[in-house]
Each structure stands twice: as structure tokens, then as C-alpha cells.
A and B are shown apart, each in its own frame.
Chain A
């Protein structure tokens, strides 16, 4: 923890669900939404960690907890060797400029009434730094908006989705933060644009040594830029390791499932698909959370929740990780 830049220790975030009138009268509280349910995560300086999961996995909430945009229900958040989840708002503000966020929606993340130059220079002005035009154009250029001068006076509605996302990235990076959470930065863009936007993120990572937490549901996105992957399911980590290890030798059935359904050019749909949908975070299955949809589930899976343990260089939480690794019954098609 002294070496990592950002870490979350045993983080949980439970949201209260709304009470129906009957429950209110009976004085009962419905079960909370356990969005993040005991996650320990570490992000090193200069690394890009991909946080992979589907909706309901808690990945977005975890990202927001690390930036303290949500307060954890329990657990600790550390930044640069200091604990920050229990500090006052003034101290927190000082940390804020060192960590930023890039949002999923290119249409909602830019104020439609402001010009690009005003949007990108805002973080500077708000922090009392002189907003020199050169600096703004430099960041626009690195984000791939060339020539940058052409874009300074434009309004968001005059830009395409990809261009807006570049503006959003430039805005996030202009204060040269040490840590950036990118929440599904390309999922609302056309497939043909995604790689380039990811390239912008990689460029900033190399240029400024900024650490990124890249939240995505698409393993192809994780494959392109991340050095490590962490897979989440229903509020917990199911697998974590270096990118090549997780993608080439997945050890958790859920990771294998994700790999099998990633669209491949000229491929075909996987022969087996998990049944049903992700359970609600209000009603988390007993034992291993994935057992209701797992093709290999055995009895122990419904009673005992597996620990996160080291198997072949990755941390996995599955009772049978070794057997799955050896490929005795493999889901992925390749």
C-alpha cells in the first residue's frame, strides 16, 4: 500500500432501496443494493488497470468510490500514502485536482452553452492557474483534435461524438492529474472510433505517467491499453491479473464466459450461453455469486463463497480455478 498510488481496502457501498408503503407501515426495511461488497484494489503509478464487468457488477460505483464521488459504506480509500475517505471537505478539495474522471456520455459531459476553449480551460481557472491558450491548444492537439485552433471556438453541438470525447479527455488531463477514472469512455462511440480514443488515453498515460482505471464491459477495449485486468461480478472481484494472463488463460468461469461472447470478426456465437440474467444486487445468491449461472456449479458453490486466491499468477475466486485452467471443460471458442 505504500507503493501504490491509489488503493481501496475492503470497500463496500450499499445503497438503500426504496420502501414500498406496505414495508413502511410494517416498519421493515427492504434489503439494500449491495453495489460494491468487499473489494480491495490497488493501482500503481503509471499503470492502466482495466476494470471489467457487466451492468450490476459495481464497477462504476467502485470507480466513483476511489474518487470519493460516493462515500464508502465501509472500507478505506488511500491516495499517495494518505487515507482520504475520512478527511474534511477542504482537504479533499486539495486532493481533487490530482484525480479526475472521464465520463461515458459524450453528450452529457460537456456544457452545451460553453465553447471548447472554456470547457477545457475551466479546471485551470477554477484552481487559480492561468489559462494560457497555448496550454489548451497543446492538450487538444494531444487528444487528436488537429488543428487545435479550429476547435477553440466551437460549441459541443458542432462536434461529433468522438470529438466531444476528445474534448472531455483534454479537460480531464489539463491539470495533469496523477489518477484518472475513465468510465466506459468509448462504449457510446462507433466501433471504428474506439481504438483511436483509447490511443489518446494511452498517449497521455505515457506522456504524463498518469494512472488510469479504465472501466469497461468490453474485453477488446481492455486488451488494447491495459496492463492488468480486474473482473467484477455482483460487487466482488472474481479474477485479477496481468492482461495477457487473464485473456489467454482465464481461470474463472465468468471470465471465460465474457471471453466467449466478445464478438470476433467472422466468428460465430458461442455454443453455450449462461442462462438467465445477472441477479439483482438486492438479492445476491448464496455461496459463490456466480453459481446460479455457472456451467460447472457443484454443491459447494451454492454454500461456500470462494476466497480470492493466487492461481497461476492471477487472483481468482473460484473453488475449481485449477481445474478450469487446465481446460477440462472450456467455454471459450477460439
Chain B
């Protein structure tokens, strides 16, 4: 199962190609922001306040005269960055916990799973607000908070997969040959478990982007960093939403939806490609 054939299979999956296309557009948007953004996002035009879309401002302006399209384009940077980094933290912690819990079993498993349950049960928003209040409202803290909230789902997936592979004869054969636990985890368990993690990772990124937007909207995190959630925050705070200024509220919300969709589609497609047994659809039907 080389990387090349997997890529081919992935691209032939409709969900996958659409998802990947969306992701590529978003990533390019973020990377090329300085080039494609019509205005500097902080550029203020006092004469054009809360203007609806026009030729000069394709998505209109906000309450201080900033071009919304530029804000959206620049906002993708933080939104995606937080998504990726928080997920990185979550997947790292989650995989470690899941593999150790699944492989060691017994009390270690029980203890780790109870900790996982604890984090699953905590109301996300409440925790976020408390942590931000205590540790400060910075971007780094937001990333950490989201990471902390997301690792349990990865841990569970990884643990289930580990339980399956732990029982395979080739693991025991390796033990018979004299392999130690670290070697077996590294060479036998992780390589087989990781494909499942990739799919889960994509979904975690989707969730992180959404969570970041929600948190910033509520005021957790630095509201001076431009992100889609931040735009929504000000759209609400400035009364634009109640005033019916759709051009201010809809684009950031739409971007969040599109981003989440892109990562979700990619995640499902990866799952189907890397784990063909889970593919939906009838295996046999009458010819």
C-alpha cells in the first residue's frame, strides 16, 4: 500500500477530492494573503462605514471602515493556524494516551480512560473561559485549551485500534522473538494504528476551527488577532447583525462552515481509503 496508490485511491473518492480542493483553496488563501488581499486589513476608510458590497469593497466594510474581504482573507491565517496547532497538540497527547492505555491494559488502562472521560465530560466553553481568565487571554492559551479539549476523542479511537492490533498473532510472534514493549509499540502497533489517526485528525481540525471561532466570539482569546471568529465577534458587538448587515456576519460564518466541511470531507474520505472495511454501501447486490 504505497503512498502513491493511496493518493490515487483518495483522489478517485469524490468526497476526498472536493474536500482536498477546499483545503487547498483555504491554505493558499492564508499563505498568499498579502498578495491577494485588496486592502491591508487594518486599513481604515472613515468615509465608508458599514457599506454594503460594492465595486470598491466586494464584501462591504465594517463599522470602522475596514474592508471585509481583506479581513476574511487575512482571518484565514489565524483560524487555520489555531486549527492545525491545537490539533497537533491533541493528536500527540491523544495518541500517546490511547496507545499506552490500549497496550498496557489493566489498571493503567482504567486510570487513563477515567482521565479521558473526565476531559470529555467537562463543558468546553466553561473550561475555556476559566482557563483564559486564570492564565491570560493569549493565542497560545487558546491553542492549548482547544488541544486539551480535543485529545480525548483521538485517545479513544487510538485505544480501540490498539486493542485490535495488540491481539494479532504478529505482535505475539514479535514478543516470542524477544522484542520489548517499546519496540513493539513503535514497529507494530503505531504504524497500523496511525492510518486511523489521520482520519480522526482531519475531523479534529474541523472541530478546532469551529471551537476557536466560538471561543473568540465569546471573548476568550485575543480579540485583536484577526480571525473569522473575531470578525463575527465584532459583527455582533457592533450591532451589525441586529441591523441586518448581512455582508458583515455571513461571510465569516460561511468561511467557518466551508473550512469545517473541507476538513470533514477529507476526514471521511481518508477513513474510507485507509480503512476500506468501513466503506458505506452494499458489498453484494444482485446482478
Contact = CB atoms under 8 A, between A and B. Distances in A.
Given A93-B178, A127-B178, A112 B183 contact: no
| Listed residue (B172, B178, B183) with the most chain A CB atoms within 10 angstroms of its CB | B178
A100 B173 CA distance: 8
Contacts, number: 62
Contacts of B57: none
A316 B125 CA distance: 73
A63 B176 CA distance: 13
Residue of A108, A127, A172 with highest tally of chain B CB at under 10 A:
A108
B2 to A, nearest CB: 9
Interface in B147-185: 168-170, 172-180, 183
B192 interface: yes
B180 to A, nearest CB: 8
B174 A122 contact: yes
Nearest to A109: B169
B188 interface: yes
Given A126-B183, A155-B1, A157-B1, A109 B173 contact: yes
B177 A123 contact: yes
B interface bracket (residues with beta carbon within 8 Å of A): 10 to 19
A277 to B, nearest CB: 27
A104 B174 CA distance: 15
A111 interface: yes
A122 B177 contact: yes
B123 interface: no
Contacts of B187: 111, 114, 122
Nearest to B194: A113
Contact of A108 (B169, B179, B183): B169
A224 to B, nearest CB: 24
Which residue, of A67, A103, A119, A168, has the highest number of chain B Cβ atoms within 10 A?
A: A103
Contacts of B176: 67, 69, 96, 99-101
A113 B192 contact: yes
B169 A126 contact: no
Contacts of A112: 1, 192
Nearest to B173: A109
A105 B177 contact: no
Given A103-B172, A111-B187, A127-B178, 14 more contacts: A101-B173, A101-B176, A103-B169, A111-B192, A113-B192, A114-B187, A122-B174, A122-B177, A126-B177, A126-B179, A127-B177, A155-B1, A168-B173, A172-B173
